[in-house]
Structure 1
Amino acid sequence: MTIQQSYELAKQQFADIGVDTEKAMQLLDSLPVSIHCWQGDDVAGFEKQSGALTGGIQATGNYPGKARAPQELRADLDLASSLIPGAKRLNLHASYLEAEGKVERNEVKPEHFKNWVDWAKQNQFGLDFNPTYFSHPLSAEATLSHSNKEIRDFWIEHGKACRKISEYFGKELGTASVMNIWIPDGAKDLTVDKAAPRQRLVEALDEIIREKIDPKYHLDAVESKLFGIGLESYTVGSNEFYVGYATSRKTALCLDAGHYHPTEVISDKISAVMPFVEHLLLHVSRPVRWDSDHVVLLDDETQAIANEIIRNQLFNRVHIGLDFFDASINRIAAWVIGTRNMKKALLRALLEPTASLREAENNRDFTTRLALLEEQKSLPWQAVWDMYCERHNVPTGSNWLAQVRQYETNVLSQRA
């Protein structure tokens, strides 16, 4: 049976429960997923400085072929994006700048990202951005919450400089860049004064976002964390801190799937915070035990995240980004697997008979609700996904893997 024939059968089955597959695919085209650049080079970046990753950042594994230069990373992204259907964005860190010599982080400028903008234009990508508050000599103790004003001011200047770069992205590409602020500040052991660092962080963030930027070009976001390696006892930027900051300062709030207690999930938090924030940024990842940033699977939580976005029609308020870095497998394959899984989850959510489910729920007919939820799991959503891939000239099934393997033989294996 051909893909077209399978799709026509699936189309009718979904029509029988009131779901328009053509409309679902059309809506999926309007939901870009922001692919994170740091999967391709193990979060190393392209600064002219050496040193290990710090701030609780770890990429484990030594699979050959990681990108060593911007040109290599963009080539790897070209292949990955050609194997992922639909709208895409790219999420960059400030440490991925391109400059002739060493540029201090408080001196990064839009011109250092011109090649990325040119690449994004050619590929019809939007760009998102992140200040890099880790892996730097001045981040060893703390950044925006540091008690030393000179160090704190350095990182404030970095944040301001990054907002200008984010605004530049938005103006050049015609789509708002979401700039996410995450810092690794905290303490390994017992902390007596937890209030003072948080007050300093409030003041530093206020100074960073003081200048108003048109949201048509740039959106500020803040991201919490439960704890980090070496910061096991106290995290300055906790969940409660940033929920309060985002709601009071009208910034976007970032929910990272790995930044909570092992039994917590971010899918349930989406509807809890949306009445209070205009924009929500999601970092979809897969925590194993905790924030280990494994490749995103098409698992229950990924599906639940997609369901919340679609069921509540948060198309223009939720920004979907990915955050994982696995150096134990082919890095390009990791991008493809994780991003395709996120898009599959969104498609499955769009194929849900939400109106019928909501009607049953409002009528307190929980029997029908449960029956419909379970029966739809057996519907042929895969046939719709295959048609979506074919319409975007992207391989179906695991056929994409052959191209990755060929690229590994021809290109990745040649990298020292």
Structure 2
Amino acid sequence: MRQEVEASFQEAKKLYERHGIDVEAVLEKLAAIKISMHCWQGDDVRGFLNRDQELTGGIAVTGNYPGAARTPDELRQDLEKALSLIPGKHKVNLHAIYADTDEKVELDQLAPRHFEKWVDWAKEHGLGLDFNPTCFSHEKSEDGFTLSHPDPSIRRFWIDHCKASRRIGAYFGEQLGQTCVTNVWIPDGYKDIPVDRMAPRQRLKESLDEIFQEELDPAFNLDAVESKVFGLGSESYVVGSHEFYMGYGVQNGKVICLDAGHFHPTETISGKLSSLALFSKGILLHVSRPVRWDSDHVVILDDELLEIARELIRHDLLGMTHIGLDFFDGSINRIAAWVIGMRNTQKALLRAMLEPTDYLRQAELEGDYTTRLALMEEFKSYPFGAVWDMFCARHHVPVREEWLAEVKRYERDVLTIRGQQKSAVSPS
């Protein structure tokens, strides 16, 4: 297989070099990109703090595929398996409910010590960690409001939780030497048409102002805010809209999160990147795949993913953009879902890097739209797959679909047995 991969790579390399594309430099650049892999795909967004709490906030996971992680150790074991099949070194994105502790602790009382095992594990594997306060699936969010809640005591609970989350994020960054992005998303909104759209947003602004009042070293923690257009239970009004958070982020120097599924069904985020990059401190991407609504399907190599990657590469936005995944599917093997999504995101970036961007840009400036269209179409069938295969081989991960056999073995030896067990036990 290695000889076949090498031969195909050399032929592909010659084709790309005819257009001045340095394939070796491209592979080096791709290897430096860290994608943040979301932990919540592994256990259907259950977490470990309030595991018996019903999912709320418009979050729903379909399917009951055997072997979902039930303990922090099981989740880390599954993450390790997935990461072993993905080329490069990456990050893992945690939600607050994934604290690994024997203490009975509420969200507003979380502290770095409740995540020490995660930090030790990340150090062992050379990973970074990102973080999110969990403002859903809690008795204090059951009526659909958190940071914009009209009750000051409930609002106080969520403010304190977000403050604690920022400190945990800074702890991650300090301990691991990789900046943690701590992202705030809330589900607040109304199912039906509200009378007062302003007051909840005023309360949200005041809550955020207090949350971000404590100055933290940006080398350790970066704050991000995430919008949504609608959701289950908030079809008519979402407090934290795109316009709200775009304004807040620009005004207050916060990273602005764009989730591919958090806009109108026919709206894409790729076209927003060049505008946002001109005014924002940074961009956080939650790469997902909506199907008619924010249903968080596993990321595939579709047109929008390719266009997102092209925007990042063509405009040199990687330095200010943090790429993370956000989907959850319990209807298929959860490790496979991670691997498919991560590898596809890397493939999209690779394809964008293997385009003759400078030449295409010059043709566009000269008004030669014929050449622009012709080359853009021809490069769609260039052999980027041969370059991808070599990238995988050099990083000692399975080439092409070979990774699926590894996942099937893991399913047989670990997940099936786990699914048959009645109680959760940590793997030895």
- Is TM (by shorter chain) over 0.5? yes
Residues 176 and 216 in structure 1, CA contact (< 8 A), matched pair in contact too: yes
AA of the residue aligned to 2:174: K
Tell me, in whole angstroms, the C-alpha distance in 1 between the residues paired with 2:266 and 2:79: 33
CA displacement at 1:51 relative to structure 2: 1.6
- State the shift of 1:391 in Å: 0.2
Contact 1:181 1:221 in 2 (8 A): yes
Please point out which of 4, 20, 25 is paired with 1:2. 4
Residue 426 of structure 2 is matched in structure 1 by none
Q: Does 1:202 align with 2:202?
A: no
**Range moving further from structure 2, 246-255 or 362-371:** 362-371
Could you tell me which of 381, 385, 408 is aligned with 2:388?
Answer: 385
The residue number in structure 2 matching 1:81 is 83
Distance 2:385 2:335 in 1: 23
Look up the match of 1:127.
Answer: 129
Cα offsets for 1:299-348 (capped at 9, x unmatched): 10000001111111112100000000000000000000010000000011
Distance in structure 2 (CA, Å) of the matches to 1:341 and 1:102: 39
Q: Distance in 2 between matches of 1:253 and 1:278?
A: 8
How far apart, CA to CA, are the structure 2 residues paired with 1:243 and 1:361? 30
2:277–2:317 CA contact under 8 A, matched in 1: no
Tell me by how many angstroms 1:101 deviates: 2.9
Equivalent pairs, count: 416
In structure 2, which of residues 338, 343, 348 is the aligned counterpart of residue 340 of structure 1?
A: 343
Equivalent AA in structure 1 for residue 293 of structure 2: W
TM-score by length of 2: 0.96
Cα distance between partner residues in 1 of 2:219 and 2:57: 32
User: Partners of 2:95 and 2:13 in 1: how far apart?
Assistant: 41
For 1:93 and 1:54, the matched residues in 2 are separated by 15
Tell me which of 170, 173, 181 is aligned to 2:173.
170
Once the two structures are TM-superposed, the CA of residue 146 in structure 1 deviates from its matched residue by 0.4
Matched, 1:298 2:298: no
- The equivalent residue for 1:349 is 352
Whether 2:378 is the aligned partner of 1:375: answer: yes
The aligned counterpart of 2:286 is: 283
CA contact (8 A) 1:48 1:102 kept: no
2:425 alignment partner in structure 1: none
- The answer on whether the counterparts of 2:36 and 2:324 sit within 8 Å (CA) in structure 1 is yes
Letter of the structure 2 residue corresponding to residue 62 of structure 1: N
Q: What letter is aligned with 2:230?
A: F
Structure 1 moving runs of 4+ over 6 Å: none
1:29 shift after superposition: 1.1
Query: How high is the TM-score relative to the length of structure 1?
Result: 0.99
| Aligned match of 2:110 | 108
Q: CA deviation at 1:273?
A: 0.9
The residue type paired with residue 124 of structure 1 is G
Q: Is the 8 A contact 1:225 1:235 kept in 2?
A: yes
In structure 1, give the amino acid aligned to 2:60. Q
Match of 2:398 in 1: 395
Who is 1:55 aligned against? Answer: 57
Give the Cα–Cα distance (whole angstroms) in 1 for the partners of residues 54 and 152 of structure 2: 25
Tell me the CA shift for residue 360 of structure 1: 0.7
Q: Given that residues 49 and 102 in structure 1 are in contact (C-alpha distance below 8 angstroms), is that contact kept between their aligned partners in structure 2? A: no
Distance (whole Å) between structure 1 residues aligned to residue 225 and residue 180 of structure 2: 14
Q: CA offsets, 1:80-104, max 9 Å, x none? A: 0000001311000000001113210
CA distance in 2, matches of 1:408, 1:35: 20
The 5 Å alignment of 1:187-266 reads 187-266=190-269
Are the aligned partners of 1:389 and 1:396 in contact in 2 as well (CA < 8 Å)? yes
CA apart distance, 1:49: 5.1
Distance (whole Å) between structure 1 residues aligned to residue 354 and residue 26 of structure 2 = 6
Cα distance in 1 for partners of 2:315, 2:65 equals: 40
Give the residue type in structure 1 aligned to 2:196.
D
- Once the 2 structures are TM-superposed, how far is the Cα of residue 257 of structure 1 from its aligned partner? 0.3
**Whole-angstrom distance in 2 between the partners of 1:338 and 1:269:** 22
The amino acid across from 2:16 in the alignment is F
Alpha-carbon separation, structure 1, partners of 2:397 and 2:112:
33
User: Identity over aligned residues, as a percent?
Assistant: 58
Aligned to 2:19: 17
Partner SS, residue 316 of structure 1: helix
Counterpart residue number, 2:43: 41
- Contact persistence 2:50–2:97 (CA under 8 A): no
Displacement of 1:362 in angstroms is: 1.1
Native 8 Å contact 2:350 2:388 kept in 1: yes
Aligned position for 1:312 = 315
Give matches, 1:142-153, under 5 Å. Answer: 142-153=145-156
| 3-state secondary structure, aligned to 1:220 | strand
Aligned to 1:32: 34
Following the alignment from structure 2 to structure 1, what is the Cα–Cα distance between the partners of residues 53 and 199?
Answer: 30
CA contact (8 A) 1:48 1:101 kept: no
| 1:254 counterpart letter in structure 2 | C
Post-superposition offset of 1:48: 4.8
Q: Could you say what secondary structure the match of 2:210 adopts?
A: helix
Q: Is the 8 A contact 1:157 1:208 kept in 2?
A: yes
Alpha-carbon distance in 2 for matches of 1:71, 1:318:
31
What pairs up with 1:399-414 in 2 under 5 angstroms? 399-414=402-417
Structure 1: 5+ residue stretches without partners? none
**What is the distance in 1 between the residues matched to 2:317 and 2:164?**
30
Question: Partners of 1:171 and 1:283 in 2: how far apart?
Answer: 24
Distance 1:239 1:68 in 2: 35
Match of 1:360, as an amino acid? A
